[in-house]
Amino acid sequence: MNRISWDQYFMAQSHLLALRSTCTRLTVGATIVRDNRIIAGGYNGSIAGGTHCIDDGCYVIDNHCVRTIHAEMNALLQCAKFGVPTDGAEIYVTHFPCLQCCKSLIQAGIKAVFYAEDYKNHPYALELFKQAGVMTEKVEAQRTIDVNEKEKEDFVLALLAKLERTGLEKEAVLELERQAAHLFNH
């Protein structure tokens, strides 16, 4: 069995954190790492105990939801709250950081930003990261985590068996089985 790379591992953690997001416009997760150890995580959502976008909708001003605290900020604030230093750490984010998060990451001493998806990559954010010597790198997702994979595979196999019983040509069924095996990495 091949293990996933550290970059893939930490990015998967960020995607998992994004599943906790309460924003209805974009779900984002962030993981702060030092020496290949996770020191904090965050997702975009409202203040603790506050009204969430999933409850009352987004509170949009100038095309930006002001109800939401960004994932990167939540991760940095978690470090601040528990006294965990961020100087020299790295962050893995599901989406390229906005300009405000970019400035906060630089000020917090983050040395590298890894992101999975481009998202309104602001030219000034790119310039600031370069000025501050913060490395940025896009990390493509190689594998997804699907907690229902087994149920989906069983369902597809049951459908294929049913198709075969209906009289579909054996060669056509075999081709569908090959495609299913490819989808489920067999």
- Give me the active site residues, please: 72
The two structure tokens encoding residue 24: 């209805």
Please count the residues of the chain. Answer: 186
Distance CA 45, CA 33 (A): 21
Distance CA 113, CA 126 (A): 11
Contact 134, 111 (CB under 8 A): yes
Distance CA 72, CA 77 (A): 9
**In a 3-state reduction of DSSP, which class is residue 29?**
strand
Distance CA 13, CA 30 (A): 8
